[in-house]
Structure 1
Amino acid sequence: MKVAALVAGMVAGADSIDDMALLRHGGMKKTFQGCYAPSTLGSFLRAFTFGHVKQLDAVASRLLISLARNAPLFGTSSGEDFIFVDVDDTIIEVHGYLKQGSGYGYSGVRGLNAVLATASREDTAPVIIGQRLRKGAANSARGAKKFVTEALGTLQRTTTAGPVLCRFDSAYYGHPAVSAALAGGADVSVTVPMNPAVRRAITAIDADAWTPIQYTNAVYDEESQAWVSAAEVAEIPFTAFSSRKKSERIPGRLVVRRIPELNPKAGQDQPTLFDTHRFHAFFTTVKAATLDTVAADKVHRKHARIEQVNADLKDSALAHLPSGKFAANSAWLVAAVMAYNLTRTAGILAQGMFAKARTGTIRTKPINVPARIASSARRQRLHLPDAWPWQTEWENLFTATHAPPQAA
């Protein structure tokens, strides 16, 4: 009941222990049971240990599996379109030195490191299939092998059909993460750092192999501080981790995108003698017959959608990590993920504009309903607003969650 109360508070917009008081305001006690005081929920979280957090991880996994059985979280599949599993970590900023595990990570701010795995199709909003809280100074790829294995295991138990493609950034370019994805039956698409082997492969690409591409929307390039709307892509066969023993080497394709290096000093009177480029490469095990060079590059760049999930969580329950105890904050992260997936499912069942909306939009419209509770003939009635813009979506959600029980 206390875990359910925490999740319910987060679905309603709570981002701290004190905010859980919203479960007890107005007529909430007349409609819901188990409206705990914030202090009770805070004491409950602080009693967690590492083992309790792992048990709660299992609860979150089973909740997602149950939600997938009752709502089309991954849309309709032809059995051939990819399910994209994106893995990335983010720093949740904290203040003060009493937060266990806090430290300065790659972002330069003091915080704790949360790693997430999301799953989605091309036309569906992502749901979270794995989560873990780590100390702030943790390396991004720490524990990646086990984390990827568990995330793919959760996805398999949802019995969602279709090939799986794991997308990583360069922090996860290592044998543990890539081999775990392949062992889980997925392909990989991972950004590679510019090491000597990659540079040699890029040099070996034929000059006529480059294919121009045009971005749908211009992309802001941080290094040149300019908007880039065009680039060129090419590929070459590549064996990853060639320094390891033969059984651990992974063959695939190295897809390279190059962008012209803009010279601010060059002008019409004295142009550069030859063009120079900056290269961005990623390694993929997807066959060229399934995704050609241009399509593979386009698919890999959409790994950035996980950043929207990070921003969504930080705009809701992960705006704060409320406790000084690391295990309590780990449990808070798991509850936040359950609240996210539950809200995402509500948006899908409501249909309309909420199928892909941010959880904040779903929360403020069909969830936080401006209603009035009245008692009549010993029965409680919920009076909803007249001419409410989201009446249809709310009724869709109510019908889906309160349908007559199925036959035995």
Structure 2
Amino acid sequence: MAHSPAPLHQDSPVGTAPARPRRREPDINEYYRKTSQNFRYAKYLTIALLVIFLIFSFTFLRGDITLENLRYLMKFISFTSAETSISVPRINYSSGDPNRLELFAGDLATLTQSGYALYDSRGNQIMAEDFGLSEPILKVSDRFVLCFDLGGTQFTILNSFAKLYEGSSEYPVTDADIADNGTFAIASGTREYRTMVTLYDEDFKPVSRVMKNDHLMAVELKADGSEAAIMTSGTDGGSFYTRIDIVVPGEDHTRASCELDGLGYSLYYTDEGFVIVTDEALLFLDSSLNLRAAKPHNSTPAMTHCSGKYITRIETDGILGNSYYCEIYDMSARLIYSGDFTGKLMAVDSDETGDYVFILAGNQVIRINLYNKKIGYIDVEADAFDILPQDADSFLLAMKNYALTYDVEIEEAYYERGDNGA
């Protein structure tokens, strides 16, 4: 019987999976490997030393870790805004109507009877301090803020990061100022003297004290804090006189002194020396208080402003209350601009260069371009009480409850020096 051949046994395919290629480790330079290892050790060592230092400090120096020492440390910590100007269209004040506003380190500083607030370029409140002030005054330098109560006794020093120092005067404060390095001056009177000016160094320690029998009119610090100018006034035979004394902090004598005719109104440090505003004239003095030039007033000055590069004098013009005549001089007492305008005069200021002067009059801002000899006008919202220039084309207007940012190009026309129709 024939048999069918037995089927062949078919095994499943058998094989070895292909081997994965071995990943070749990159060659590491021995120098860089050791350097990386050293950095790793250095990091661990730094952390260990920091922990040891903190343990040591809290164990043996606990008594020296005080609020005052921490505030002193904060004096050297100051944040400058990355934005160089306010960019938000409107900033709403958080509390009360501000009596004073200033641009400070790229931010907006405000002071009211109830307190101080700092707003960044986007309008966010980044700092606030509560005060109780009757007549708040705000002074700023490049690095510090001074808040004081005119006629009160309290004053406070701040930077862009924290409150640094609180002090008080035995007698009511009549004026104050602060320099870029933190040196500041507090003026008051005493029972024996009508004027007492105390100069403090950057460590908040009193280093000089000046007493005068005459009435204080102004105290100004040079921007670098190297000296202070004190202006006092009195009468002699029925006529006013004004005395200027220059004092170096820490020294017990004046660097220079002079006596001028008339009642002193304002005192400004300039690139060339000083400008003094009296009831009679603008007086240009050199750094040794020698009189270089005088520009008599045409009428009573309504407002003056000095950028250090130019001095602006605005006088009433005629019998109308809202008509004014403006003159601008350089520090050589040379007339750079003259012209008249109308509108309720509220404020005058200049940009950081000093080349652009801004006048707020009613619902109009007048910009005088001293660099290109041009003048321009722009209509603004009514009821502003102050103007804060940021640069040639940008300024803030201070309103009752908020500040507005204007970032516009102002159409200009050439002016001729001395042309009333400019």
**Please, what TM-score do these two structures have when normalized by structure 2?**
0.24
Q: Which has the higher strand share?
A: 2
> Relative to total residues, which structure has the larger helix share, 1 or 2?
1
